[in-house]
Structure 1
Amino acid sequence: MNGTEVYSPDGTNVGTIDHLMIDKQSGKVAYAVMAFGGFLGIGEDHRPVPWGKLNYDTNKGGFVSDITPEEVQSAPDRTNDWYADRAWDQRTHDHYQVPYYWI
């Protein structure tokens, strides 16, 4: 999964999957942490994107999503404990307009 490309519907590269985050209680994939921006890994940023926002396309060999780099950059700020903060989860899922994975 690591290194898998993420494309917009028009085929533009939005970023790559750096790693996945799995919810400890449900065992479901909660987020794909996406690397974007930068050049050759320099200056790139990493942001969690809700797993429900990504769709794998076998023809492209990567994920397709309607997210934009601007939408990723404007996502709710991460706190020190963002991975254990349900309020952050809710803000993030609302930002991306995707159903909560924990319901």
Structure 2
Amino acid sequence: MSTEGNHSLVSSSDVNGTAVYSRDGTHIGTIDHLMIDKESGKVAYAVMGFGGFLGLGEEHHPVPWGKLNYDVSRDGFTTDLTEAEVKGAPERTSDWHRDRAWEQRVHEHYGAPMYWI
């Protein structure tokens, strides 16, 4: 995901597939897709893919967008989260993207500000 000039806008299609690294530089996953709040327009989550091989066996976990920071030198995102912390997050419900109580538990788990406040 390269950037040209000082533009801060990026297409969601350019974010999909971008690597995510821990603070120590360890590759912990990639962004599969984004979840955007329809009312506010804010990016709520980056759904990240972990593990697997060639797309098989990969697990997907939503991570609050506020826990990711773009790092130009890595051409990817960095986070203070670990893969174990992500996999230990509250289990998703079948309707997780419409379950505010679940979202609150997730944001508390990660210590992330709630995007809807």
- With normalisation by structure 2, the TM-score equals 0.86
Aligned to 2:35: 21
- Higher relative contact order, structure no. (Cα contacts within 8 Å, ≥ 6 residues apart): 1
CA RMSD of aligned residues (A): 0.7
Letter paired with 2:107: H
Aligned to 1:70: 84
Distance in structure 1 (CA, Å) of the matches to 2:113 and 2:16: 24
Q: Classify the secondary structure of the residue corresponding to 1:100.
A: coil
- Figure out how many residues of one structure are paired with residues of the other and give that number: 103
1:95 aligns with 2:106: no
Gaps of 5+ in 2: 1-14
Letter paired with 1:73: K
Gaps of 5+ in 1: none
**Which of 51, 55, 59 is matched with 2:69 structurally?**
55
Q: Classify the secondary structure of the residue corresponding to 1:95.
A: helix
- With normalisation by structure 1, the TM-score equals 0.97
Q: Classify the secondary structure of the residue corresponding to 1:43.
A: coil
Aligned to 2:24: 10
Letter paired with 2:16: N
Q: Classify the secondary structure of the residue corresponding to 1:46.
A: strand
